[in-house]
């Protein structure tokens, strides 16, 4: 009968200590670090075991289980955190893309010829057989009807 009382008393002491530990912690640290729960459990119950004439060698926490409603709430919190992290990553990506576009626009403003080079590069990469280029009127002088065309000649520079 005494043996039964020791077991019951030690069991109740362990249970009360566990409730004290779990009640003072948040859920995530409990789940992430069961070893610390075991250490705290040993600290809280080894003295009580000694009072019963017992030596407590170890007290390990193998699994932490929560009631169904608490599991659902915890799953919702984890889901919300993951969604928040995903939204943050999307926003970071969009910010980086906008920054790149702004840098490209600034570079094009500073060097307008880059835009023409980029257009030519795009044309060269295309698989079209026909290429139509639009040039400003000042770039090409078209002959009038009946006028004979000649190539421009360069005049020697005078010294």
Q: pLDDT digit string (tens) for 95-144?
A: 999 999 999 999 988 888 888 888 778 877 777 667 676 767 665 566 67
**Inside any domain, residue 36:** yes
Residue 26: the pLDDT is: 82
* Domain enclosing residue 28, as ranges: 1-65
**Inside any domain, residue 140:** no
Whether 1 has a pLDDT exceeding 60, the answer reads: no
pLDDT digits (tens, 9 = 90+) for 68-97: 888 888 889 889 999 999 999 999 999 999
pLDDT digits (tens, 9 = 90+) for 40-59: 989 989 888 888 888 888 88
Residues 24 and 2 in one domain: yes
Taking phi over 0 as left and psi of -120 to 50 as alpha, with beta for the rest, 151 belongs to beta
Residue 16: the pLDDT is: 92
Name the nearest CA neighbour of 119 among 106, 135, 103: 135
pLDDT digits (tens, 9 = 90+) for 19-48: 898 888 887 788 788 888 888 989 989 888
Of 21, 41, 65, the position where a domain reaches its end is 65
How far is Cα 46 from Cα 60, in angstroms, rounded to an integer?
A: 13
Whether 154 has a pLDDT exceeding 80, the answer reads: no
Residues 85 and 41 in one domain: no
pTM of the predicted structure, to 2 decimals: 0.45
Question: What is the DSSP code (8-state) at residue 54?
Answer: -
**Inside any domain, residue 129:** no
**Inside any domain, residue 155:** no
Residues 42 and 72 in one domain: no
Of 21, 42, 65, the position where a domain reaches its end is 65
Residues 61 and 95 in one domain: no
Of 65, 87, 110, the position where a domain reaches its end is 65
- CA angle, 35 as apex, 68 and 40 as ends, to 5°? 95
Please count the structural domains in the chain: 2
**Inside any domain, residue 19:** yes
**Inside any domain, residue 18:** yes
């Amino acid at each position: 009968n005494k043996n039964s009382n020791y077991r019951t008393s030690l069991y109740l002491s362990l249970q009360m200590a566990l409730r004290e530990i779990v009640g003072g912690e948040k859920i995530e640290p409990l789940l992430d670090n069961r070893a610390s729960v075991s250490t705290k459990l040993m600290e809280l119950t080894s003295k009580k075991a000694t009072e019963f004439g017992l030596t407590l060698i170890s007290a390990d926490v193998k699994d932490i289980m929560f009631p169904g409603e608490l599991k659902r709430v915890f799953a919702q919190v984890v889901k919300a955190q993951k969604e928040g992290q995903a939204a943050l990553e999307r926003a970071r990506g969009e910010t980086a893309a906008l920054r790149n576009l702004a840098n490209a626009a600034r570079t094009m403003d500073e060097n307008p010829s880059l835009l023409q080079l980029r257009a030519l590069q795009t044309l060269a990469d295309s698989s079209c057989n026909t290429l139509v280029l639009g040039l400003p009127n000042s770039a090409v002088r078209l002959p009038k009807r009946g006028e004979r065309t000649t190539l421009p000649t360069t005049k020697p520079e005078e010294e």
